[in-house]
Amino acid sequence: MNPTVVAAAIGVGGTVIVGVAGFGASIWNTRRTIANDHEKRVWDRRADTYLAMLAAVRSRQIEKGSLPDSVDPTISDAYYHAGPSEAPDWFRLEAAMRAFASPQVLWAMENSSRANARVPSRRGPGDPPEPADHPDPPVPMELLAEARSADDALVVQIRRELQGRSQAQEQPPGPPGLVRSILLRAGVRR
């Protein structure tokens, strides 16, 4: 066979292999980018839902008089000193939590909801005073302590997820295994 034809066939064969590998890498990178964008959008919604739940738990603690005894130095002062601005929409918040929260946070939320359902509400600072003949009944301390403990567990689980996500090192999308191994053998580092 003519050496020119053999050289041309080798060149065309090499070009085809590189083209197919490049096309495969392009497809993989595009899929990974789309998946990362979707994951980021879901995470943003989850973080917003978690922040709304933290505010709602704080509002519920103020309403029931179950504020923490000690101040956690890692939580903002605004959490401890801000009053409730408006009553949370628990149905909408629960729906958002069921859509976006992790199983661990859902479990903590359900425990918190059950514990707080057993504690009667106290009157808020903006509510009209009760007549003297109908005072608020005393809240059993064991129910209040159980509700506070369940709320604290929910807050801790949400904070773990929020902090874990922000500290996690996300790997940038890279080429698939075959192309990666070829690039590494050629001495190309990412």
pLDDT at 177: 53
pLDDT on residue 108:
92
Dump pLDDT digits (tens) for 16-60: 888 888 888 888 888 888 888 888 888 899 999 999 999 888 888
Query: What's the length of the chain?
Result: 190
pLDDT value of position 154: 92
State CA 127 to chain mean position distance.
35
Mean pLDDT, residues 138-160: 86
pLDDT (0 to 100) of residue 157: 92
Give residue-wise pLDDT tens across range 62-73: 777 666 555 454
User: And the tokens for 94?
Assistant: 């629960």
User: Does residue 148 have a pLDDT over 70?
Assistant: yes
Whether residue 155 has pLDDT greater than 60: yes
Q: Which residue has the higher pLDDT, 179 or 64?
A: 64
Instruction: Choose between 177 and 56: higher pLDDT.
Output: 56
User: What DSSP line would sit under 88-135, residue for residue?
Assistant: --HHHHHHHHHHHS-HHHHHHHHHHHHHHHTSPPPPPTTSPPPPTTSP
178 vs 55 pLDDT, higher one: 55
| Three-point CA angle 111, 58, 96, nearest 5° | 60
Q: Could you tell me the two tokens for 2?
A: 């003519």
d(CA 40, CA 60) in angstroms, rounded, equals 30
Q: Where are the domains of the chain?
A: 3-125+134-167+175-185
Can you give the pLDDT at residue 168?
43
pLDDT tens column, 79-126: 444 444 577 888 899 999 999 999 999 999 999 989 888 887 665 545
| pLDDT of the residue at 140 | 75
If you average pLDDT over residues 162-179, what whole number do you get? 54
Query: What is the model's pLDDT at position 63?
Result: 75
